[in-house]
Amino acid sequence: MSETAAAPGSAVSSLPRVTLVLGGARSGKSRYAETLIARAARRATYVATATVEDSEMAERIRHHRERRAAGTLAWETVEAPRDLAGALEELARPDRPVLVDCLTLWLSNALLAEADLAAETAGLLRSLADVAGPVVLVANEVGFGIVPDNALARRFRDAAGRLNQEIAALADRVVLVAAGLPLVLKEPSI
Q: Please list the active-site residues.
A: 64
CB contact at 8 A, 133 and 115: no
Task: For residue 173, give every residue at least 6 positions away whose Cβ sits within 8 Å of its Cβ, in sequence order, or none.
Answer: 16, 18, 19, 20, 184, 186, 187, 188
> Which residues share a beta bridge with 182?
177
Q: Going by C-beta distance under 8 Å and a sequence separation of 6 or more, which residues neighbour residue 27?
A: 177, 178, 179, 180
Bridge partners of 135, per DSSP, are 18, 98
Classify burial at 59, counting beta carbons within 10 Å of its beta carbon; exposed 0-12, middle 13-18, buried 19 or more.
Answer: exposed
Q: Is residue 86 helix, strand or coil?
A: helix
Closest-CA residue to 84 (of 113, 127, 53) = 127
Residue 100 sits at φ, ψ, to 5 deg, of -105, 120
Taking each continuous run of H as one helix and of E as one strand, the counts in the chain are 7, 7
